[in-house]
Structure 1
Amino acid sequence: METNNTTLSYLPVGIFGAVMGLTGLAVAWRLAHLHFGVPLWISQAIGVAAIAVFVALMLAYGVKAYAGWDAVRAEFQHPIASNLFGTPMISLLLLPLVLADYSLALARLSWLLGAVGMTTLAWVIVLRWLTLRQTATHIAPAWIVPVVGMLDVPLAVPALQWQGLHEVMVFGLAVGLFFAVPLFTLIFQRLALEEALPAPLQPSLLILVAPFAVGFSAYVTTTGHIDLFAQALYMLMLFVLAVLLGRLRHLPQCSPFRVSWWAASFPLAASAGAAIRYAGQAANPVADAIALLLLAIASVTIVAFLAQTLGGVARGRLKALA
């Protein structure tokens, strides 16, 4: 079936990164409520926004799929874009952190769909990597999403009040951490030796922070404490984040906003959440200052992305932003 602009054929699946970013920010502000005593309603409002955006994007992408399945198939076969099919799966894994306050049954359903979908996608993508020959120019930060995204499996489990899921948490943690090492190495090599990423994809470099930020939170959630390995993940997160923020500091002035920039939102929110978790144990003013700084950076960035996206939709420019 042919597609056209009115059927949202141009809508990229990676736009679900907006749900990830908003949900991660809601969790970060909830942690800030517990540690710093900020008002809880901030986290709740962001969480409601995340749910609303997820519903809207599911409907929009459903229209795209119904009107022209070939467009979805082509996206899934693309060597880079296919990896971003992990974004709706990760959204389903993160939303229970918000949904559990309203409906435990809905939170469990969302997590179950996300866990099954994420595991299946990781299997398919790894099998594809081992079956089809890849080229250096196809290697991109988005490669981290479908497999290292397994680190998101443990995060919402405590909120589900389900017994017997510890092994599932360990499974997600193990797969995510194991594949993070070779993928980070491949991507770093590609960035150092090949041509630079196009400007609209530059913010996706922040995905490289996710293995450390999400890895820290997933490890602490699974083990129940912050040990030396968790501290190492946190310190690596700070170093990689500092490098990448320095690399991207001039991007807003030299490149117009694109919805692909949403790829940067969740790593920033996850970094803020990890920093607040760490500050809760470190109990020193330096850790608190770092946590507040990262929360401010994540909040300002995500609000700016949301304003740009909603403004584009209101002006009928979503296709241009995509």
Structure 2
Amino acid sequence: MQAAHPAGVTAPAAAPAVSTTLAYLPVGTFGAVMGLTGLSLAWRLAHQAFGAPAAVGQAIGVLALVSFVVLAVAYGIKAAAGFYAVRAEFAHPVAGNLFGTPLISLLLLPFLLADVSLALARLAWVLGAAGMTVFAWTIVMRWLSVRHAPTQVAPAWIVPVVGMLDIPLAVPVLRWDGLHGVMVFGLAVGLFFALPLLAMVLHRLVTEEPLPVALQPSLLILVAPFAVGFSAYVATFGHVDAFAQGLVMVMLFLLPVLLGRLAHLPARAPFRLAWWAGSFPLAAAAVASLRYASVAGSAVMDAIALVVLGVATLVIGMFGVQTVRGILAGKLRELS
């Protein structure tokens, strides 16, 4: 007799060997692609503004592309071996929101692909924009249709919102006319839902039990609506005004609070793949800081931008080293 699996689905007879290998792989691991792509863009901006080595941003970009291909193949194998595992993950009230991470990755990859193949960059963006919109609709309908316990509200709920904010980011490098309305659509939807979701998450953090230790790095997602919102706003309207400046200021206020909250985490808990959820918000904060510094004309803002870039590079580098070490040691399952 075959064993019963989640969602009442029985695994095919030929699937167990592969399913046992990759069923544990969380879709949120695509957060690594997001973080590496964002960090690559940040180093490119640092090269333009401060003469940082161009090779750093290029090397990180190659790592991001390789990571996307590897994860896409691995998660495809997981889905083919036992789709019940994917369906159960999507139905989860927290993990289901992380299905936005591969779609956000597609929206960010054009930054790396545009100079190599404009057609491929455009294809990635179209797939990401269409998929992200459908995904956001699906998640919002779930929020409105299913009653959730307060403890199920988590920073990961913000991912679909951040995904909509990512739609405008790469449009300037696509060299496509007529997309301004699409950019405004992504920006408006993302910003509209950001405020109530942030309020819900903060209420949960203040009034309920703390997040599990493995999920605490996801607190950095609270920075993302402001960091990505700034970059999306500037990409859409082409200038930094008082509203855009306000987004950066909120980000710069919130980032030290969250980093201070997480400073002692590496000493208290072993690394988990879920920690990658904090990589993209850090990279996005570095990008926003560098973009704002380029127009602020302030030595203080230049210093702040370089500090944020250094912190993002250090943290994401640590995540990368721990992940590679786990893979080489054959402990990827334990990290998931």
TM-score range, shorter chain: over 0.9
**By how many angstroms is 1:274 displaced?**
0.3
Gaps of 5+ in 2: 1-9
Could you list the per-position Cα deviations for residues 168-224 of structure 1 after superposition, in whole angstroms to 9, with x for gaps in the alignment?
Answer: 000000000000000000000000000000000000000000000000000011110
1:72 equivalent among 70, 73, 86: 86
1:173 equivalent among 181, 187, 191: 187
Partner secondary structure for residue 155 of structure 1: coil
Mapped contact 2:161–2:225 kept (Cα < 8 A)? no
1:309 equivalent to 2:323? Answer yes
Task: State the one-letter code of the partner of 2:331.
Answer: R
**By how many angstroms is 1:7 displaced?**
3.5
What does 1:155-304 align with in structure 2 at a 5 Å threshold? 155-304=169-318
1:151 is matched with which residue?
Answer: 165
**By how many angstroms is 1:275 displaced?**
0.3
1:86 is matched with which residue?
Answer: 100
Q: Could you tell me how far apart the structure 2 residues matched to 1:206 and 1:60 are?
A: 26
Q: Could you tell me how far apart the structure 2 residues matched to 1:206 and 1:261 are?
A: 10
Q: Could you tell me how far apart the structure 1 residues matched to 2:102 and 2:79 are?
A: 14
2:130 is matched with which residue?
Answer: 116
2:52 is matched with which residue?
Answer: 38
Q: Could you tell me how far apart the structure 2 residues matched to 1:280 and 1:49 are?
A: 27
Mapped contact 1:150–1:175 kept (Cα < 8 A)? yes
Task: State the one-letter code of the partner of 2:148.
Answer: Q
2:114 equivalent among 88, 97, 100: 100
Q: How many residues align?
A: 322
Partner secondary structure for residue 164 of structure 1: coil
Larger radius of gyration: 2
Q: Could you tell me how far apart the structure 1 residues matched to 2:161 and 2:255 are?
A: 21
Could you list the per-position Cα deviations for residues 95-123 of structure 1 after superposition, in whole angstroms to 9, with x for gaps in the alignment?
Answer: 00111111101000000000001000000
Partner secondary structure for residue 24 of structure 2: coil
Q: Could you tell me how far apart the structure 1 residues matched to 2:162 and 2:201 are?
A: 13
TM-score normalised to structure 1 length: 0.99
Mapped contact 2:162–2:228 kept (Cα < 8 A)? no
Q: Could you tell me how far apart the structure 2 residues matched to 1:304 and 1:147 are?
A: 27
Q: Could you tell me how far apart the structure 2 residues matched to 1:106 and 1:293 are?
A: 34
TM-score normalised to structure 2 length: 0.95
Task: State the one-letter code of the partner of 1:40.
Answer: A
**By how many angstroms is 1:148 displaced?**
3.1
1:58 equivalent among 59, 72, 78: 72
**By how many angstroms is 1:6 displaced?**
3.7
1:8 is matched with which residue?
Answer: 22
